[in-house]
Each structure stands twice: as structure tokens, then as C-alpha cells.
Structure 1
Amino acid sequence: MSLEQTPAVHLDALRLVRGGRTILREVDLRVPRGSITAVLGPSGSGKSTLLAALTGELVPAAGKVELFGQPVPRSSRALLEMRKGVGVLLQGNGLLTDLTVGENVALPLRAHTRLPAALIERLVAFKLNAVGLRTAADLYPRELSGGMARRVALARALALDPPLMIYDEPLTGLDPIASGVIMSLIQRLNHSLGMTSIIVSHHVHETLPVCDQALVIANGALVFSGTPAQLQASDDPLVQQFLHGRPDGPIAFDTAATRRTEAA
């Protein structure tokens, strides 16, 4: 398999366990380079657990995780090096309130490179310009709207030019207009910068239009993998319940309670 054909992410027979309980089982997945993949599913279905495996935070109980043809390392030093190539946009943004917008974006560059201050300043301006916030460099996080803060966090995640971007519920707490801006920005940046993106979300209708591939996780497994069009045309009861928000169906509403009952 050539370098271009090697998937950005390859999961094979993956099983993930937390606290002695299996969260996901037998997950097989290929994420093509340059694509945008949506990982969808109800709250508590294991989406964040899957992200923890991709970043090396959680060691699989079985199966393998590969990024760009290389297994996710176990040693701390190798894992730190690998993470430089994975940008993560967190749900809560994670901006440091005592630093300006520019200083927040500069953090990864100062921590992981030895670039001169003048070059870092130029790179920060470039990243902020990419998300439409070049004039906001001297503002503090408390002076930003929710959508602006999310874009600053995105600029910081892009600081080291990662080939893989992971978005963990990027639309949480945003109004419809800000959500549209963020999704459009994700799509534009992915294509213009030649990245691969994985979007973890339960916002189906906002996420699908920008994606090449859609996955649905429910009841501890990957229940669907295909294009957005195939997802919307699926007659699978699990998929239908999730897409249309039906309270009754094969996906239990209170998954935590259901698991406790099953464990008992």
C-alpha cells in the first residue's frame, strides 16, 4: 500500500474498556487521508472514549489503532511526539483566561518549537487570520463571544499544522449562526490545508453537510459506516431512531441506567 493509500486512521477489531466495563467492541474503521469523517451517536455512546484511544490516552483492551500507518505508541516520549501531529478542539475550548488570544494561540509553538519570537508572532497572526480573527489577538477570552472563543481554540489547535484534526462536540453551546460558521470553517480549513478531520458530534443535521463519511456509534458498537447520503437513506431501526430523535427504540434513553441494570 502506497503512502497516499495508507489511511489517516485505521482501527482493527478495537475493544475499549473503562472501569472494567466494555464501552466499545469490534470497531473496524478506515478514515481516508484528506477526508472529513463524522462520528455520531447519542450521549454516553462511547464517542469520547473512541477519541481517547486515538490520542493515546486510553490503551485498547484488544485490537489496534494506527495513525498514518503507525501504531499509537505506549511510551510517554513517543506519545508526546505523536500528539504534535494531532490537533484537538475540546468541547470547553480550554483557553487560559489570564492570557490574550494571541498568547493562547502561541502556547503550542512556544512549548514544542524553538522558533524565534518574531516568527511565532507572524504564525499566530496567520492562524488567527485563517479563522477570521486576526484583529482579536490582544483581546482576552472573557471579551469573546462563544463562537469567537471556539474559533480561537481552533486556531490554537492548528498552531503546529497537524495533519489530523479531531473535533470533540465543536457545536456545544453555540447558536445556529455560530454553528454554521464553525462547520463551514472546518470544511474550508480541511480542504485548504490538506488535513484529515474527525468530528465527534450528536448534531446530525449541522455536521452531515460537510462530511465525506459518517459513522454512528450506539449500544457499544459501530452500527453504521457510509456516506451521509447512505446514512439518511438507511432503514436500520438504530439509525432511524437516532436521526429522528425518537424516544422509543433499540437505543435506550438512559444508557448509564441501562448498563447498571445489565451489570446487576
Structure 2
Amino acid sequence: MPDTSPIVRIDHLRLDRGGRTVLRDITLSVPRGSIVAVLGPSGSGKSTLLSALTGELAPTSGTVEVLGQPVPRAQRALLELRKGIGVLLQGNGLLTDLTAAENVALPLRMHTRLPPALIRRLVLMKLHAVGLRAAADAYPRELSGGMARRVALARALALDPPLMIYDEPLTGLDPIASGVVMDLVKRLNDSLGLTSIIVTHHVHETLPIADHAVVIANGGIVFSGTPSALEASTDPLIRQFLNGEPDGPIPFESAAFNSRAEVA
């Protein structure tokens, strides 16, 4: 019987940073095999929510379950859980003195005892999956922004994680590269049977591939539903965010700046 339980389950979660509450009463369930877009303006707490999913930030109250278990606090158990979570950071995080292939090989060398020849074969498979097998021996400085992002994606997939988390995957990319990355996310999610959570403020590029959309603003979830329902919403807060209007229910002032805490 296939596992039909949610791959992520968040219940009445409250997250504090810098002595203040960033997010409150967050309840969310992520079905296996889905693509969920977590949207919101800068400083709304999207990345703070990711920190709770990966165990970097402990809940003040409420619960977070990932891959069928509560996110552990013990370091060894947490490291084991993280092997099942692939994370694509907005800055790529590629090591500049290593080739594309060597960057992708890092997780395999750190977390497995596979022989070098098998690691090389797996690395080339991952690079092929993102369309960059020919760039295996190139260094990050020799890659375009879109290519570097795809190498980082291949590295995030190295251990075959069932859950992928994308933190602002389109930052710094031009419209063409953005389209390539989003198409790749969708294709890999379907072909590899992944579940993907995309945290972004790039609404119009992300909604076409998403099964479910969540909007975070003013410290909580203000919308949860299908992308079509989001685009049809007449809620003034949702319209302000989708249309990029400066005036409305979402204040322009950065809460992160005022509290001297990074909660983007």
C-alpha cells in the first residue's frame, strides 16, 4: 500500500526570533507528490518557516512533522532526517574551487561509502537529469546563473530525497532561465515522484506549476488553496500582493529591519 500520509504536517505552529513572534498559528498539510508554493512579500517569514522544517529553528509552540516523524532536536537524528530533504538555496552554495561534478558528488562522499566509480556514475546521472552532463568538468565561474542553479539542484538531488525545498529559486535569474528552472522543477517532481515546497515571491512564474498555494503575510497564513482560487480572490490583502500595490493591508515597512532580525 502506498503511503498516503502527508509528507509535511504543521499544526498550530508558532515561531519566535529575536525576542518576537514571526509566525503564529500556522497549520499546513503537504500531500505526497504535490508541488506547494509558499508565497509572500519579503520579510513575511517564509524562510523562517523553512528553518522549522529543516530543524534549524525549534517551535515556540505547536508541532512540525516531516517525512512521518516530528522534527527531532537531537543532532544525530536531525542529520539523519535531513538526508531525506533536498534544499536548493537562493545563493546556490556551490564551492567555487570544485567542478560541477565535484560539487554534486559532495553529499555522496559525505553520507555514503560508495566507491568512487559509482559516485561518478551517479553524479553524471544527476547532471544529465538537469541537462548539464556536458558541464561536469566546468567550474561555477564558467557557468551562467541558470546553469549554476541547475548544478545546485543536481547536488540537492544527489541522495534521492523524497522531499525537495526550494528557497527563492529564481533570485537573480532572467525570465528565460526562470522558465527553464520552473519547468525542470515540475518535470523532476513528476518523473522522480518527489514532493516540492517552493518558497518564493515570484508569483506568476511559480503558480503555473503548483498544485497548492499558500500566502504568508502579517505573521500568519492569509490564503491556502488552489492557484486558480488564489488568482480569483477578491481579498484586498491578496490583491495587493498579487498586483504589487504599495498601499493596502500589508505594510511596506520591513518587520525584519525594525526588529534587526532576518525573517525573509
Q: Match of 2:154?
A: 155
Write out aligned runs for 1:150-189 (5 A). 150-189=149-188
Structure 1 equivalent of residue 88 of structure 2: 89
TM-score, normalised by the number of residues in structure 2: 0.96
User: How far 1:147 sits from its partner (Å)?
Assistant: 0.2
Cα distance change of structure 1 residues 247 and 126 upon mapping to structure 2, 3 Å threshold: same
Measured in 1, the distance between the counterparts of 2:258 and 2:251 equals: 10
Please say if residues 43 and 256 of structure 2, whose CA atoms lie closer than 8 Å, have aligned partners that are also in contact. Answer: no
Q: 1:85-106 deviations in whole A, cap 9, x for unaligned?
A: 0000001000000001100000
Structure 2 equivalent of residue 220 of structure 1 = 219
Q: Deviations over 1:140-164 (max 9, x none)?
A: 0000000000000000000000000
What's 1:120 paired with?
119
Please give the alpha-carbon distance, in whole angstroms, between the structure 2 residues aligned to 1:257 and 1:23.
9
Query: Segments of 4+ in structure 1 off by > 2 A?
Result: 2-5, 255-260
How many percent identity over aligned positions?
75
Matched pairs, number: 259
In structure 2, C-alpha distance between the alignment counterparts of 1:257 and 1:116, rounded to whole Å: 46
Within a 5 Å distance, the mapping from 1:225-236 to structure 2 comes to 225-236=224-235
Residue in 2 that maps onto 1:8: 7
TM-score after normalising by structure 1: 0.96
CA RMSD of aligned residues (A): 1.2
The DSSP-based 3-state class of the residue aligned with 2:181 is helix
Residue in structure 2 matched with residue 204 of structure 1 by the alignment: 203
**Within 5 Å, which residues of 2 pair with 1:29-108?**
29-108=28-107
User: Does the 8 Å contact 1:241/1:249 carry over to 2?
Assistant: yes
Q: Is contact 1:252-1:258 (8 Å) kept?
A: no
**SS of match in other structure, 1:246:** coil
Tell me how far apart the structure 2 counterparts of residues 63 and 235 of structure 1 sit (CA, whole Å): 31
Aligned partner of residue 206 in structure 1, secondary structure = helix
Q: Which residue of structure 2 aligns with residue 22 of structure 1? A: 21
Question: In the alignment, what sits opposite 2:246?
Answer: 247
Aligned partners of 2:126 and 2:58: how far apart in 1?
32
- In 2, the alpha carbon distance for the partners of 1:69 and 1:132 equals 32
Contact 2:43–2:255 at 8 Å: present in 1 too? yes
How much does 1:16 deviate? 0.3
Unaligned runs of 5+ in 2: 260-264
* Letter matched to residue 92 of structure 2: N
- Deviation, 1:3, is 5.9
Report if the CA contact (8 A) 1:13-1:62 is conserved. Answer: yes
Once the two structures are superposed, residues 60-89 of structure 1 have per-residue CA deviations (whole angstroms, 9 ceiling, x without a partner) of 000000012210001000000000000000
